[in-house]
Amino acid sequence: MTLAAIDTRYVYDFAEEPPGGRELLGGKGLGLSEMTRLGLPVPRGFTVTTDACRAYLEADVFPEGLDQELGAALQRLERATGTRFGSSDRPLLVSVRSGAAISMPGMMDSILDLGLSDAVAEGMSKATGNAQFAFDSYRRLIQMYGEVVEGIDADRFEEALSTLKRERGVTEDTELDGGDLRELVARYKRIYRDALGHEFPQDAGVQLRAAIEAVFRSWQNSRAQTYRRLNDIPEWIGTAVNVVQMVFGNAGPRSASGVAFSRDPASGSREPHGEFLVDAQGEDVVAGIRAPQPLEQLEEELPAAYAELRKAMNALERRYRDVQDVEFTIEQGALFILQTRSAKRTAAAALRAAIDMVDEGLISREEAVLRIDPSMLEHVLHPMIDARASVTVAATGVPASPGAAVGAVVFTADEAVRRSAEEPVILVRFDTTPDDIHGLAAAQGVLTAHGGMASHAAVVARGMGKPCVAGCDALQIDEATGTCTLGSFIVHEGDQITIDGSAGRAILGAASLVVPDSNPDLDTVLSWADTFRTLGVRANADTPADAERARAFGAEGIGLVRTEHMFFGDERLPVVQEMILAEDEVARRAALDRLLPFQQADFEGIFDVMRGLPVTIRLLDPPLHEFLPSEGEATSERMKDRIRSLRETNPMLGTRGCRLGLQWPEIYEMQLRAIARAAIAVADRTGKPPRVEIMHPLVAYAEELHRLHDLTERVMNEEAPGLAHLCGTMIELPRAALRAADIAAYADFFSFGTNDLTQTALGMSRDDAEGKFLTSYLNLGVVGHDPFATLDQNGVGELVELGTSRGRSVKPELEVGICGEHGGDPASIGFCHHAGLDYVSCSPFRVPVARLAAAQAALAERGTKYEVAGG
């Protein structure tokens, strides 16, 4: 084979060693290939690569050579299985299943039972002696093919099925006999012909080709697009398509389909979890056609298959060293594994499983730390119902995703989106499908009547870290009247309910929730993370209570105390206004003297909590007009005049930060005195001086800091001679980053204020960008991330690197941190690690996230890798 031919190969058998990984084969394809080569019971088949999908989506036709490769792969499959595609004698039936490199559960389409036709169904019915099975499979094919390839409305098929069941006086699909299903096939074919004007294709080759094209196209359906946007999955990667020999979970009472997790995906405990349906195809379990049975019952019903499943899950956990989510089918007692992937799990389960796997010797502590998604950590300490509250439990269900949530009842995803703009909502549905993804994203939590741990609602809710109660039998929804019955209660749309996804309870009204402030597993993993990270983690905190929380979450100091809130409050604001309205410096100082004790008390409170850890206090930043009412509300002519004189066209770029401090030095002087006096008071009281870092905002010129540095040192010397302290600056203007070497001459430290640095480097005001043009930039793909949430590494990041290196070029010991919002964003934290910063500072709640992300960055640099299974 020539090199060119290797380059353009689009199809790989599961049994062969592929030349690429998940990017080429998709997660599902790679898993099937690896499981086949591990010797696990996997149906045979082949994968059409993501290269082929991308080429198809670009040109709208199959790339050259794909048809020939498909033909050859089919022949190999026929030879290996002793069957023939499209033949009524020993027919080969296949499924066509999507599978991208990154798992997108249920977002794209799959089609089962391809290869059936009138003749093949008859042949299969005769050969198996089971007409019910043959025609049930055929009617499923017509429906799925009709929906996915031709876009026929699913309801038309569902209605025909319901009508037939009514005519036959049965309630379950499985009660229809072979004759009934033959009749159903005829009705389905009529629906197909009526909708499209041509017959359902009888040629297996035509079916297969159209199915592959449709699955490629399903990459671009709107729910997949939404899912990618919500999960930061690139648009261009495309999906692979797996063509898999059919195995039949619907071949009678010794057949079944199910999903199994090797450990509990909600709690992480070591017991396998899952559900299955006897005599059903896999899609039935996920779609919740009938209530599935819990996995434990499989041990009683089909013990040999169950034992083999446990064995296979153990082998898969050993291979992937992670919790697996396995799809399986049992055909006449024989187990087949159709798919394995790393299980989506709650943050609590992720921590529990990682710790257990370290104990079991399956993974190292480094891997345990790498495995936890930092952004999930915020969900570990999820709200719970206050144990002291008395609640009315209306109904119970499966505790499918932990945490509690309160909201107004909505019955549709669209209504969830609409109403969530006004108030928190709980999505209440019979079940959810991938079409409801936007509603799940908008809701606080979800309650379903149907399904269990593996239902769509449960899987998505766990992924989003939201509570879910599934399979709530006592829930009946009547969308027409906008009500539901929940046990013996009637609940209207808009009524408040509470769901408790940890205990599986649906509760009337808004229960009071509490947020626990610790989790032992979180503490364990973070204590491991702390041993790997080199980046310090501080918190942005303005009050003793915030500081307390920051310490509880493990902050090693405060990287930003914003002092402006200390100017508000009923007692203070009038004095602040008096200060601003003062006619001369004497009057201004008199007002400032009255403010000083308030500020001093605030600083003492924070120093007390931080007990000798660094506290970086930023002097006043916002323009003075922020402390005055609007002109119409002014209470005197003088106030009106002052409001007019302080008015600026663009206050963001106006008299803010150190510009204010240089124009009205008395203000900074007062703040410095308050800091110094608070430090002395705390040192006297506790015997330990606080570590004070005084920070000047919005410096552009070295000369600004030069003057403010002199002011700082003069006041500190007057008030607290001998008190060790640092004097530094925020770097939040591009000029400051560029001139960092000059500025460092007067600075003991730099702290990058990347909120303002992003605004000024990009020339975007955050408030005018977010929700407006920036949102459309994100939708259009002009930018990949919101630069105010995730640092624009190429642009703003370069200023950070430049400022750091220029500053340290004249002062190697210069302490450098970051205190913009980016300090709590995992990707930005990785960047800060690589840029050589000393610490990140973020909101107290994000401190655990930052500790973990900092450790992951350090481990990534050491080359510790972690492989994820499946897709």
Residues recognised as catalytic = 456, 819
Smaller CB distance to Mg ion: residue 753 or 871?
753
Smaller CB distance to ligand PEP: residue 352 or 538?
538
Q: Considering only residues 463, 501, 797, 820, which one is a binding residue for ligand PEP as defined by CB under 6 A?
A: 820
546-565 residues near ligand PEP, rule: CB under 6 A: 560, 562
- Could you write out the DSSP letters of every residue in 552-621? HTT--SEEEEE-GGGG-STTTHHHHHHHHH-SSHHHHHHHHHHHHHHHHHHHHHHHHHHTTSEEEEEPP-
820 binds, among ligand PEP, Mg ion, none (CB under 5 to 8 A by kind): ligand PEP
712 binds, among ligand PEP, Mg ion, none (CB under 5 to 8 A by kind): none
Least distance between ligand PEP and beta carbon 701 (Å): 18
Contact call for residue 819 and ligand PEP (CB under 6 A): yes
What value, to the nearest 5°, has the Cα angle with vertex 857 and ends 856 and 860? Answer: 80
Smaller CB distance to ligand PEP: residue 700 or 819?
819
Q: Distance (Å, rounded) from C-alpha 249 to C-alpha 280?
A: 5
Contact call for residue 659 and ligand PEP (CB under 6 A): no
Least distance between ligand PEP and beta carbon 43 (Å): 55
Q: Tokens 């500025």, residue? A: 743
Smaller CB distance to Mg ion: residue 269 or 755?
755
Find the part of the chain contacting Mg ion (CB under 5 A) among 185-193, 705-713, 745-753, 828-836. 745-753
Least distance between ligand PEP and beta carbon 759 (Å): 8
183 binds, among ligand PEP, Mg ion, none (CB under 5 to 8 A by kind): none
Smaller CB distance to Mg ion: residue 54 or 766?
766
Find the part of the chain contacting ligand PEP (CB under 6 A) among 83-91, 238-246, 314-322, 754-762. 754-762
Least distance between Mg ion and beta carbon 620 (Å): 12
Task: Tell me, by CB under 5 A, how many residues bind Mg ion.
Answer: 3
Regarding beta strands 725-731 and 749-752, do their DSSP bridges make them parallel or antiparallel, or are they unpaired? parallel
Q: Considering only residues 69, 704, 756, 825, which one is a binding residue for ligand PEP as defined by CB under 6 A?
A: 756
Contact call for residue 655 and ligand PEP (CB under 6 A): no
3-state secondary structure at position 302: coil
Least distance between Mg ion and beta carbon 642 (Å): 24
What is each CA distance from 614 to 499, 692, 752, 851, in whole angstroms? 42, 6, 17, 17
Least distance between ligand PEP and beta carbon 823 (Å): 8
707 binds, among ligand PEP, Mg ion, none (CB under 5 to 8 A by kind): none
Mask for 709-748, x = binds ligand PEP (CB under 6 A): -----------------------x----------------
* 412-419 long-range contacts, CB within 8 A, separation 24+: 412/439, 412/479, 413/437, 413/438, 413/439, 413/440, 413/442, 414/438, 414/439, 415/439, 415/493, 416/440, 416/442, 416/443, 417/442, 419/494
Question: What number of helices (H) and strands (E) belong to the chain?
Answer: 34, 33
Q: How far apart are the first and last CA of the chain?
A: 31
Q: Considering only residues 755, 777, 802, 860, which one is a binding residue for ligand PEP as defined by CB under 6 A?
A: 755
Contact 468, 401 (CB under 8 A): yes
Q: Distance (Å, rounded) from C-alpha 103 to C-alpha 117?
A: 32
Query: For residue 387, how many other CB atoms are within 10 A of its CB?
Result: 6
Contact 119, 127 (CB under 8 A): no
Q: Tokens 């493990």, residue? A: 554
Task: Tell me, by CB under 6 A, how many residues bind ligand PEP.
Answer: 10
819 binds, among ligand PEP, Mg ion, none (CB under 5 to 8 A by kind): ligand PEP
Q: Which residues 6+ apart lie within 8 Å of 863 measured at CB?
A: none
Q: Considering only residues 284, 331, 756, 838, which one is a binding residue for Mg ion as defined by CB under 5 A?
A: 756
In this structure, what is the dihedral angle of CA atoms 266, 268, 269, 271, given to the nearest 10 degrees? Answer: 80
Q: Distance (Å, rounded) from C-alpha 48 to C-alpha 55?
A: 12
Backbone torsion region of residue 561, taken as left when φ is above 0, otherwise alpha when ψ lies between -120 and 50, otherwise beta: beta
Contact 760, 733 (CB under 8 A): yes
Q: Considering only residues 403, 689, 753, 807, which one is a binding residue for ligand PEP as defined by CB under 6 A?
A: 753
What value, to the nearest 5°, has the Cα angle with vertex 851 and ends 850 and 856? Answer: 90
Smaller CB distance to Mg ion: residue 217 or 625?
625
562 binds, among Mg ion, ligand PEP, none (CB under 5 to 8 A by kind): ligand PEP
Smaller CB distance to ligand PEP: residue 149 or 847?
847
Smaller CB distance to Mg ion: residue 261 or 750?
750
Contact call for residue 753 and Mg ion (CB under 5 A): yes
Smaller CB distance to Mg ion: residue 370 or 558?
558
Q: Considering only residues 117, 137, 324, 754, which one is a binding residue for ligand PEP as defined by CB under 6 A?
A: 754
What value, to the nearest 5°, has the Cα angle with vertex 225 and ends 405 and 261? Answer: 55
Alpha helices in 664-753, H assignment, sequence order? 665-686, 702-719, 734-738, 740-744
Positions touching Mg ion (CB under 5 A) are 732, 753, 756
Positions touching ligand PEP (CB under 6 A) are 560, 562, 621, 732, 753-756, 819-820
